[in-house]
Amino acid sequence: MSARIVFDLDGTLIDSARDIQGIANAALKSVGAAPVTLEETHGFIGEGIHVFVAKMRAARGIPDSEQERLLADVVSRYDDAVTLTEVYPGVRDMLATLSSHHQLGICTNKLRSPCMAVLAHLGMGELFGTVWGGDNPLGRKPDPAPLLAAFADLGEGPCLYVGDSEVDAETAQRAGVPFLLFTGGYRRTPVESIPHAAAFDHHAELPAIVEGLLASA
């Protein structure tokens, strides 16, 4: 049975935290603040770049009045922040396998422009029938609207959402679709506390999980 499978991006298909840390620290340097660590960066990703910058400011005691200036600084560097990003092990084979039977899409809170830039840089731009970024007019995850729109773009068939975070799990729940949790991304809480239909540690596991869920649906 052909299904519609939508993926989150940061922390799910790609490990982009080093690039995001780099542009965050360039912005922090411009206001004389100390850099953020990779671990802090993981904790700030997932709710869009506005929230990232707000959390980054809070961690360094930078006032609200600096939000827009820092946000503009980070966004201005975002399209070029691709060189340190890595595709998680097994992702390319997994996508090749799934795309031969199913329709694939992306629903991320990353802005659409850097999302398309990093997908193009990694040679993955052609695999997805639809891409919804965090600056779409319908809303941002955990609002289910962009996820539902992504599924609608992909036509017919059962729906699955694959992500790495608490926000993704809530989005799937609100959209009424099964959630598949990649445990190796940027989640902040234990796997057991994040609602999921299935969890996996390596992307090579995903095609069999998908077929199992579709067979039992």
Ligand X SMILES: O=C(O)COP(=O)(O)O
Which residues form the interface with ligand X (CB under 6 A)?
Answer: 8-11, 45-49, 52, 108-110, 134, 165
- Which one of the spans 147-155, 156-164, 188-196, 200-208 is the region binding Mg ion (CB under 5 A)? 156-164
CB of 156 to Mg ion, least distance (A): 27
CB 78 within 8 A of CB 49: yes
CB of 103 to ligand X, least distance (A): 19
* Helix/strand/coil for 151: helix
CB of 46 to Mg ion, least distance (A): 5
CB 93 within 8 A of CB 206: no
Choosing from 3, 8, 161, 181, the residue that interacts with Mg ion (CB under 5 A) is: 8
The interface partner of residue 25, options being Mg ion, ligand X, none and the CB cut-off 5 to 8 Å by kind, is none
The interface partner of residue 27, options being ligand X, Mg ion, none and the CB cut-off 5 to 8 Å by kind, is none
- Cα separation values, 68 from 73, 92, 139, Å: 9, 37, 20
Structure letter (DSSP) for residue 212: H
Instruction: Tell me which residues in 158-177 interact with Mg ion (CB under 5 A).
Output: 164-165
Secondary structure element (H or E) that encloses residue 169, with its range = helix 166-175
Active site (annotated) includes residue 168: no
Q: Is 184 exposed, middle or buried (0-12, 13-18, 19+ CB in 10 A)?
A: middle
Question: What residues act catalytically?
Answer: 8
